[in-house]
Every structure is written in C-alpha cells, then in structure tokens.
Amino acid sequence: MSSALRVGLIGYGVGGAIFHAPLIAAHPSLRLAAVVTANPERQQQVRAEHPDTAVVGDVDSLLAGDLDLVVVASPNRTHVELATAALDAGLPVVVDKPFTPTAVAGRRLIEHAESKGLLLTVFQNRRWDNDVRTVAKLIDDGELGRVHRFESRFERWSPTPKPTWRDSGGAEDVAGILYDLGSHLIDQALRLFGPVAAVYAEIDRRRQGVRADDDSYLALTHVNGVRSHLWMSKVAAQPGPRFRVLGEKAAFTKYGLDPQEAELRAGRRPVDETWGREPEESWGVLGVGDDVRRVPSERGDYLAFYDGVVRSLRDGAPPPVDPADAVAALDIISAAHRSVAEITVERLL
C-alpha cells in the first residue's frame, strides 16, 4: 500500500459514496487518502465506511495535502471550478459526468489541463456495463450484420420528486435527466456507432414541482447512417428493454440493468471474479422472430476505469475516457435543447 497512488475525493453524495469511494478503496494501486464533505452526517459516514481515510471540510485543505490524484464528484454546477482548482494545484483530475455544463466550458478545461501537462478524464463508468459490452461484442463478431437501428433505455419509476438539486434544480444546477442518464446513453451510442450528424429531441417535465427534465427522448442520426433512439425517464411504471439492436442479419434484445450499481449500493465490492456477473435468466436474446438464443452477458467491470487511470499516471497511457468524448456528448445535449426550443432536427455535420 505504500506505493499506492493517494486519491482525494471531493464530494460524498451518491457519486462519491456509492461509486468512487468503493472503487478506489477496492483498487490495489489506489488509496482513498482524503474525502471532502462539509455535511456532518456524511463526514460520519466516511469515517464508518473508510476508517483509514482523512475527512476534511473544504477543498483548500484537501489540495494542501499530499495527493497524487483528485476525483471531483461534487454537484454538477461545481465541476469546472473544482477541477480547475485541482489542476492549478498540480494534480491530475477525474471529473464525474456530466463533465461540464457546456461543450465550450469542456474545451476550455481540456486546454487548461493540457497547458499544465496533467491528466484529465471523465468518469463514464457505464462504458463498462455488462450490457453495452455485450452489444459491442456482438457487433464486432458480426452476429447482427450491419446495424441500422439502436434503441437504448434507462428508465426508472420515481414518481415523487426528491428534495435535492437533481430534481428541484434548474439550468444553473446542470440538473435534469438528460445531463444525468443521458450523458451515459449518448456516450454509449457514440462509442458504438461514431459521430452524430443530426439530433431530434423531446425534453419534458412530468412531475409537479420539478424544474429540470425527468422524461426525455433523443433521436440521433449517426454519420454512418445508424439511427440511435435514446429514452431516459423517472416516470416509467413499466420500463422497456434496456437495449434493442436491429441489424441486417439479426436483432438483440436485453432487459434489465447492469447489476454493478445495485451491488455497490448493497455494500459489495469488486474484489473477485464474481463481480459484474449476471445469471442466465437475465441474459439478452439474439436472433430472428422466435428463432432466438440467449447470449451470455459480458462481465461488467467498473474497476477497469480506474485501471486506466493508474496506467495513465504510471505509464503515460491514454486516459480511460478522452474528455473530448464528453465534449462531443455535450454538443449533442446542446443540440437537443435547441431542437426542443425550435421544434427542429438539429444538424451537427
């Protein structure tokens, strides 16, 4: 552990407590050295869950410590300010998604990191979901043939808004399901099918009292002709399939979410080969009509993100997520908002 990279984590809400802290603590080459949170209950939670980790009440105290990496898992509106402060302190940075409020801000932050010669990457953990890894393998193996339509859903049933910035916040908070779950769905579509030429969107607020979208849909036309249809919702009483991928040879349909988030919430850690495995009854099906077979789900592996961070810091490897990819997703989110405002299909290329 003496050679482990020392990590400072800013924020101990859902992102910090459920995702980053457990993954950092489980990684053999990382040590969760310090956590910033001013909330007394969360401070107590850190001490209970990570007794060897220092708890500090402000970012300046964290940055004054002896660290090798900073992870920004604070509210969305603070990402740029805190990432900039960490870079100015000479520290590499991981920023939770959404990377920044706008693509312009994202490009500026990338330029700032490059001027400092420091690592900057974005926590797009759902690149390592079991289901999207399975889809990627099917495409690479030619099982689907040429894909023409990609349907992707991230739907939940949460009809009562929570008193948090995620539900009650507005544009100034970078709130809403398009920024939250949409950042993942867009990133996955871009990874699978490449750049987007046109965007159509429907962005709605369904629940009383919310200021940010909670039920949204995007139709993306990729440069290669594939059409991606992306749904994200907190008011889906019966969710549709997580994926339905239509190709010239076959289709693939998959229900249910990758199990890693549920495992992390239940207190499990990615410490052995059972992590991210899915039972056969949860596998998707591949084929035509009734002539289908179950396809074993690839193993989900969120820890692979931090494997990539370690390689970048120690060996100079490319970052596990190029922040320019996050900027491309933000360009699509901006186009989606213009599409809604002007009732148009927004062309990007």
Smallest CA-to-CA distance from 80 within 332, 338, 323 is with: 323
Give the E-state strand segments of the chain in sequence order.
5-10, 30-36, 54-56, 69-72, 93-96, 120-123, 147-155, 196-204, 215-222, 227-233, 243-247, 251-254, 284-288, 291-295, 346-347
pLDDT in tens, 158-188: 999 988 888 878 888 899 999 999 999 999 9
Tell me the C-alpha distance between 56 and 43, whole Å: 8
Res 316 pLDDT > 60: yes
Cα 329 to its chain centre, rounded Å, is 11
pLDDT in tens, 220-248: 999 999 999 999 999 999 999 999 999 99
Q: Which residue has the tokens 């290329």?
A: 349
The pair of three-digit structure tokens given for residue 310, joined into one six-digit string? 């370690």
63 — pLDDT class (breaks 50, 70, 90): very high
Give the residue-averaged pLDDT of 215-224: 98
219 — pLDDT class (breaks 50, 70, 90): very high
Pick the CATH number of 126-304+331-347 from 3.40.1110.10, 3.30.360.10, 1.10.760.10, 3.30.390.50: 3.30.360.10
Phi, psi of 208 (to 5 degrees): -65, 140
The pair of three-digit structure tokens given for residue 67, joined into one six-digit string? 């660290």
pLDDT in tens, 9-45: 999 999 999 999 999 999 999 999 999 999 999 999 9
DSSP code at position 32: E
Angle among Cα 186, 107, 332 to the nearest 5 degrees reads 25
The burial of 179, by beta-carbon neighbours within 10 Å (0-12 exposed, 13-18 middle, 19 or more buried), is given as buried
278 — pLDDT class (breaks 50, 70, 90): very high
pLDDT in tens, 97-151: 999 999 999 999 999 999 999 999 999 999 999 999 999 999 999 999 999 999 9
Q: How many other β-carbons are positioned within 10 Å of the β-carbon of residue 279?
A: 8
In the chain, where the domains are located: 5-123, 126-304+331-347
Tell me the C-alpha distance between 107 and 72, whole Å: 17
Res 1 pLDDT > 50: no
Three-class SS state of 249: coil
| Fold of the CATH domain 5-123 | Rossmann fold (3.40.50)
Tell me the C-alpha distance between 160 and 142, whole Å: 43
Phi, psi of 96 (to 5 degrees): -65, 160
Smallest CA-to-CA distance from 139 within 234, 43, 222, 207 is with: 222
pTM of the model: 0.95
Smallest CA-to-CA distance from 305 within 12, 17, 10, 29 is with: 29
User: Quick one: which H or E segment has residue 47?
Assistant: helix 40-49
Phi, psi of 215 (to 5 degrees): -155, 100
Q: How many other β-carbons are positioned within 10 Å of the β-carbon of residue 161?
A: 18
